[in-house]
């Protein structure tokens, strides 16, 4: 088991772009079978022994602007850079690399606004043709934005000496307007990073259309808060969909499941996956669809606590999500309560699919 160091300072308070970058990189914990140490207090945490860690991840967002002025942060980055250990940085994270003098003579990319700083720092700027662009040069791996997470993680796994097997799978995501942002994007990008072919579909929409999403967060109120999320681009058309072409189904939560559960074509699709015993992974409110499809009878599963009524009336044995990141597998069904459970959720789906990462 390796150790991975992540520079992260309260990313969820820095906006959804930084938070999404943090969430997808946090999932590396179980994809790579490493321990992620989240540094919430840089002044304190830089005292940790550098020798314990095999890699460094620097998310973007607003944090790099001020972390680039923190000498303890820069000293940490220099140690990784000088040692040749892998460093993965995305978006504005490259500001820290520039401040640490770790990009001189190296090819790198970033969010376009970071270009002048990287050039002044002596980097060979690589223009991102799309916001998915990633570049690897030596031990430094850089990405333009969160859209490039799949390739960024693939390059990072390779740099750490990892090998992915069993990923020749086709996965289908069942999407809808105002599904939860993290609950679709994080599993989708994680499975892409593993090398799976992943498609996202939505009733009455076609490939290239988008679904608006919602960010549900836990901020101390009686229920979760709700904010606008990213627009999520669909990769395949719903009409004419052949479920037999896919090895597994993923159902994100959020607002979408409550009305998708009323769509007879959705119900038929879910029944086909469940009756064929293909892996089905559903999180948060996604289990509303499973209950409506009548496929929970005799099953053991969890969900967001407010969905317990649907699950129990649907004939399932309720498994308490305590803590909220707890996920369960029963036969071909993986269920989770909310996005904090993504590491377990994705890891358990990987197990059903026979996907492994070894070092």
Q: Is 175 a catalytic residue?
A: no
Q: What long-range pairs does 330-333 form, CB within 8 A, spacing at least 24?
A: 330/299, 330/300, 330/301, 331/277, 331/299, 332/274, 332/277, 332/278, 332/279, 332/280, 333/274, 333/279, 333/280, 333/281, 333/282, 333/290, 333/299, 333/301
Annotated catalytic residue 196: no
Q: Which of 149, 216, 230, 285 is catalytic?
A: 285
What lies within 8 Å, CB to CB, of 81 at 6+ separation is 87, 97, 100, 102, 139, 140
Backbone angles phi, psi at 142, to 5 degrees: -125, 145
Nearest in space to 245 (alpha carbons), one of 201, 292, 183, 204: 201
The structure tokens listed for 73 are 């942060």
Kindly name the residue from 76, 108, 175, 284 that is annotated as catalytic: 284
Q: Which two tokens stand for residue 329?
A: 């597998």
Half-sphere exposure of 190 (CA within 13 A, CB side): 32
Answer yes or no: 285 catalytic: yes
Cis-peptide into 117, omega within 30 deg: no
Selected catalytic residue, list 91, 196, 202, 301: 91
Cβ distance 187 to 232 under 8 Å? no
Provide φ and ψ at 141, rounded to 5°. Answer: -120, 125
Sign of CA dihedral 348, 352, 355, 359: positive
From CA 211, how far away is CA 26, in angstroms rounded? 24
Q: Annotated catalytic, 91?
A: yes
- Quote the CA–CA distance of 270 and 249 in Å, as a whole number: 8
Q: Which of 8, 76, 92, 327 is catalytic?
A: 92
Give the active site residues.
91-92, 284-285
């Amino acid at each position: 088991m390796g150790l991975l160091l992540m520079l992260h300072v309260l990313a969820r308070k820095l906006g959804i772009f930084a938070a999404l970058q943090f969430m997808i990189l946090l999932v590396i914990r179980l994809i790579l079978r490493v321990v992620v140490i989240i540094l919430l207090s840089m002044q304190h945490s830089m005292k940790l022994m550098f020798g314990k860690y095999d890699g460094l991840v620097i998310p973007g967002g607003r944090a790099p602007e001020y972390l680039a002025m923190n000498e303890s942060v820069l000293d940490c980055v220099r140690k990784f850079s000088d040692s040749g250990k892998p460093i993965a940085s995305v978006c504005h994270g490259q500001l820290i690399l520039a401040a640490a003098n770790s990009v001189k003579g190296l090819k790198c990319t970033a969010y376009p606004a970071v270009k002048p700083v990287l050039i002044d720092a002596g980097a060979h700027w690589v223009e991102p043709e799309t916001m998915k662009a990633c570049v690897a040069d030596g031990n430094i791996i850089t990405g333009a934005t969160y859209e490039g997470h799949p390739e960024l993680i693939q390059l990072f796994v390779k740099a750490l000496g990892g090998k992915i097997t069993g990923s020749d799978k086709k996965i289908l995501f069942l999407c809808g307007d105002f599904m939860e942002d993290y609950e679709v994007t994080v599993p989708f990008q994680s499975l892409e990073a593993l090398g799976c072919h992943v498609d996202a579909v939505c009733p009455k929409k076609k490939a290239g259309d988008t679904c608006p999403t919602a960010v549900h967060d836990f901020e101390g109120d009686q229920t979760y808060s709700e904010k606008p999320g990213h627009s999520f681009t669909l990769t395949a058309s719903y009409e004419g969909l052949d479920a037999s072409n896919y090895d597994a189904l993923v159902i994100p939560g959020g607002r979408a499941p409550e009305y998708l559960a009323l769509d007879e074509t959705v119900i038929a699709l879910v029944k086909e996956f469940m009756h064929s015993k293909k892996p089905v992974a559903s999180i948060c409110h996604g289990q509303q669809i499973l209950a409506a499809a009548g496929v929970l009878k005799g099953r053991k599963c969890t969900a967001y606590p407010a969905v317990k009524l649907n699950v129990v009336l649907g004939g399932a044995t309720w498994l308490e999500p305590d803590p909220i990141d707890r996920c369960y597998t029963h036969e071909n069904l993986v269920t989770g309560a909310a996005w904090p459970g993504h590491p377990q959720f994705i890891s358990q789906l990987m197990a059903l699919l026979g996907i492994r990462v070894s070092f």
